[in-house]
Structure 1
Amino acid sequence: MPTGDDLRPGKALVLRLTGLVQSAFAARRWPEEARCGQDGPAGGAVPAGRARYAGEVTDPTRDSSSAADPRGSAEWADDLRLALQLADAADAISTERYCSADLHVSLKPDRTPVTDADQAVERAIRAGIEAERPGDTFFGEEYGDDGASHRQWIVDPIDGTANFLRGVPVWATLISLVVDGVPVLGVVSAPILGRRWWATRGGGAFSSEHGTAPLRVSGVSDLADASLSYNGLEYWRDAGRLDQLLDLTGRVWRTRAYGEFWSYMLVAEGSVDVAGEFGLEPYDMAAVIPIVEEAGGRFSSADGKPGPWHGSALATNGLLHDGVLGVVAG
C-alpha cells in the first residue's frame, strides 16, 4: 500500500508535463465578451480555495493534499500514485489558466465550448500515460479514443468547462482507469474548491478537504427524506424523461441542481442522497463510479445498466436506488 512519501507528486513528471504545454498558450485570445474577468472572477478576487490549494500543487516539491495520508487498494497502488501525480500536473495548468485574460475559447462541432486549458490538460495527462503506461490506451474528451483495450485511461480534462469560463469554481479534472470495461480507479480534483476525491476498487473512497478522510454515503432510507441533485432540465427533456424527473422532485424532501461531478461527490460524502443526469459521455462518469461505489453507494444508468457506457447516470446511497429507478426508468 502506498505511503505519503510514495504518493508525493513526482517533481520530474509534473515539471515535464507542465513544460510541454507552456508554448501552446502564446498568441491566443479569449473573446472579451466571454471572459469571466480580466483580473479574475468577482472583480479580481482570487477564490480562497485557489489560494490554498493551487499553491500546493504548482510546487512539485511539496506534498499534494491527497498525498498526506493516502489509502487505497494495494492492487492499484501504482496506478493511483500515477493518477494523483497526473492530477497535480493538471491542477497546475488549469489553475494558471482559470479566468486568464488570454484564455482561448472555441466551439466544438456539438456547440459546446472548449478552452486551451482543456486541451493542454488533456495533452499533459496523455503524455504522462504514454510515458508511464505505454501499453495502455487513452480516451479523452478533447482528442478522442485510442480504442478499447484491457486497460484504458478515460479522462475529462475539465468537467464543467462552462463554469470554468464564467468564473464559477465548480469544475474538476476527472481521471479514471478502466480494466476490462470496469472502472477500477477514479480521481476527481477540483483545485479552486481545494478538494480532491479518489477511490480504487476494493480500497475504499477518500477525500482530502481536511487531511485524508474516508467517504461514506448517507443512511437515508425514505425517499421523502432524500436530497436530490440533477443537471439541466433540457437534458431530461431531450431524453424524454422530464415528466419522470418532475415526478421524482415531488417525492423527495429537497432538490438542487448542483450538476457536473459535484452531484456525485456529494452523494459519496453523504450530503446528497440521489443524483441523476442525462446527456453524458463515458468521460463524464468513469472517474466518479468507483468513488460513489466505494463510499457504499450504487451507480447505474437511469435504466439500471452498469458502467459509464449508456449516456445517463443515477447515483444513490444504495438504499434508495431501486425506488428511484422505479420512477425514472423508461
Structure 2
Amino acid sequence: MLAAAADSVTLDRFRANDLAVDRKPDRTPVTDADLAVEDAIRALLAEHRPEDLVAGEERGGDLDALAGKRVWVIDPIDGTKGFLRGLPVWATLIALVDDGTVTSGMVSAPALGRRWWAHTGSGAYTDDGHGPRPIAVSGVRSLSDAFLSTTNLATWGEYHSRAAYEALVDACWENRAFGDFWHHCLVAEGAIDLAAEPIVNPWDIAPFAILLSEAGGQLTDLSGVARLDGGNALSSNGRLHAEALTILEAGRAH
C-alpha cells in the first residue's frame, strides 16, 4: 500500500517538464516529488497506523528521540540527482523500526520495475514483474573474487579516506559505482558482494538492515557496528565483511 502510493506519485513526476527543484541546507537537491511522496506516505500512516511515529528525510523526525517507539523511516526518493536528470535508478525506501530494531523494509524502484523487501524471520524477496522470488547473498569468500560498489568516489576524500577506498578497490576483483539504494539491493540478491559508503543518513540505509540480514548478509557502519546513525555504511555477503573493514581502517590510518 505505501509503496504503491509512492510509485503513483514518483512515476507521474518522473521526467516531467515542470518538475520543481530546490536545494536543502546541505546543498542536496529536493524535488516536488520528494515532498509529495513523503506527504502521501505520512497521510496513509496517519490513517491506518495513527499510533506509530514517522521520521522522513524531507519532513523531519529525530530517530534519537524516538527510542522505544514504533517508527516508520522514509526516504521518499533515494537517488534524487538521478531522478531529476531522467535516470531510472531511484527508489522509495520505507522501513519500520520497532524499539531501535528494523523489523520490515521495502525498496520500490518503479522506473526499473523492481521491488525488494524483507520482514524479520520471513526471508528477503524481490519482484521484477514476474512474481516474488527469494533472494540471498553470494557465496564469494575471497576479496580477490569480489565485486565492489560505492556511490561517489569524491566523497571518500571528504568524509573518510579516498586512499582507504582505493585500497579496497585494489583488493577486489571488480568495482563499479552503482550507488545509492541499488548497490545494497545488488548485494542482497548476490549480484555483487560489497557496497561501501563514506556518508549516509539513517533513512538512506534503514531498509537494508533487515534486507541484508534476511538475505544472509551484513550491514554495519565503517567501524563494524550495526547501527543506522553511524554516518557511513558497509554492506556485504557477510563472508567478506571483516576483511573489508580492516582494509578500510588500515587505509584511513595512512
TM-score tier, shorter chain, comes to: over 0.9
2:28 is the alignment partner of 1:112: yes
**Aligned equivalents of 2:9 and 2:199: distance in 1?**
27
Partner residue, 2:169: 249
Partner residue, 2:57: 141
2:182 is the alignment partner of 1:266: no
Partner residue, 2:85: 166
Partner SS, residue 195 of structure 2: strand
Q: What RMSD in Å do the two structures reach over aligned CA positions?
A: 1.0
2:19 is the alignment partner of 1:100: no
**Aligned equivalents of 2:160 and 2:28: distance in 1?**
21
2:224 is the alignment partner of 1:308: no
Contact kept? 2:208, 2:219, Cα under 8 Å: no
Displaced runs of 4+ in structure 1, greater than 2 A?
A: none
Greater alpha carbon shift after TM alignment, 159-168 vs 139-148: 139-148
Partner SS, residue 66 of structure 2: coil
CA deviation after TM superposition for structure 1 residue 180, in Å? 1.1
**Aligned equivalents of 1:201 and 1:224: distance in 2?**
32
**Aligned equivalents of 2:153 and 2:218: distance in 1?**
23
CA deviation after TM superposition for structure 1 residue 130, in Å? 1.2
**Aligned equivalents of 2:159 and 2:31: distance in 1?**
27
Q: 2:139 aligns with which of 197, 219, 238?
A: 219
**Aligned equivalents of 2:221 and 2:81: distance in 1?**
24
CA deviation after TM superposition for structure 1 residue 207, in Å? 0.3
Q: Which runs of 5 or more structure 2 residues have no equivalent in the other structure?
A: none
- Structure exhibiting the larger radius of gyration computed from Cα positions: 1
CA deviation after TM superposition for structure 1 residue 240, in Å? 3.1
Partner SS, residue 145 of structure 1: coil
Q: 1 or 2, which has the higher strand percentage? A: 2
Q: 2:114 aligns with which of 178, 195, 198?
A: 195
**1:173-192 residue pairs with structure 2 within 5 A?**
173-192=92-111
Q: Which runs of 5 or more structure 1 residues have no equivalent in the other structure?
A: 1-84
Contact kept? 1:183, 1:307, Cα under 8 Å: no
Contact kept? 2:146, 2:193, Cα under 8 Å: yes
Deviations along 1:93-119, one digit per CA (max 9) or x if unpaired, are 100000101111111111111000000
CA deviation after TM superposition for structure 1 residue 134, in Å? 1.2
Give the TM-score of the pair, scaled to structure 1.
Answer: 0.73
Contact kept? 2:199, 2:233, Cα under 8 Å: no
Paired-residue identity, %: 48
CA deviation after TM superposition for structure 1 residue 233, in Å? 1.5
Partner residue, 1:126: 42
Partner residue, 1:56: none
2:119 is the alignment partner of 1:205: no
Greater alpha carbon shift after TM alignment, 304-313 vs 168-177: 304-313
In structure 1, give the amino acid aligned to 2:71.
Q
